[in-house]
Amino acid sequence: MSARHQSGLTLIELLVTVVILSFTVALMSGAFNQIAQMLRISTEHSNGFLDRWNRSRALYDMVANMVIDPTLERPFTGQYQQIDMVTLAFPGGPPGVARPARVQLKVSTEPRGGTELLLINPTADRRTSPQRLVLLPGRMEFRFVDHRGNEHRQWPPTGMAESRPMPSAILLHELDSKTPLYRFAAYDGPLAPNNSALAQTFGTGR
């Protein structure tokens, strides 16, 4: 009498299958958790980067959108550590609305050093703390470029018979290297052919 052919899984095969499935599910669960954590960290870093990028561009936008307020005797004044201006791009304010702004450079007290770029709203309550836009590396000072391409430590510049209401560009100098690290161009009328210094500031001239 021939033995009957048995079909299906034995108990041992079923147990082995269950164990393998358990390991697979455990491994996949760990991998999914790691992926979710990596995505969360990446999102946080991206948001932080965008926030830092927007703050670091704040001075660029403010200078590029400076306007001359005819009610002020001096619509723009600058020293090596402070700028007073009227701008259409006040950070956090409504775009296109002219608002006074003060920007200061202050040596940071953090262990890594550097220079803090601070924004002050002159129309706000005096008890309002300045807003730190960005922490710059090294020791920084402002420089002001006139329409002839000459640099000055203050604006209006001393020793000039007459000067324009605003500089053509504002530089941020790193004192240790004595080189300009950042350049912010102010709009000062049409780029006429004879205004080569201003054209170079915007990268359109030679």
CB 125 within 8 A of CB 112: no
Q: What is the pLDDT of residue 58?
A: 79
Q: What is the pLDDT of residue 56?
A: 59
The C-alpha angle 183, 184, 190, rounded to 5 degrees, equals 120
CB 132 within 8 A of CB 114: no
Which of 68, 109, 112 lies closest to 87 in space, CA to CA? 68
Amino acid at residue number 170:
I
Is it true that the peptide bond before 156 is cis, omega within 30 degrees of 0?
yes
Q: What is the pLDDT of residue 85?
A: 93
Q: What is the pLDDT of residue 45?
A: 53
In this prediction the pTM is: 0.64
Compute mean pLDDT per 10 residues along the chain, 206 residues long, and list them.
57 80 77 70 55 65 88 90 92 86 92 89 81 86 90 87 84 81 69 43 42
Give the domain ranges of the chain. 58-201
**d(C-alpha 94, C-alpha 55), whole Å:** 16
Which of 150, 11, 169, 194 lies closest to 76 in space, CA to CA? 169
CB 24 within 8 A of CB 16: no
Q: What is the pLDDT of residue 185?
A: 81
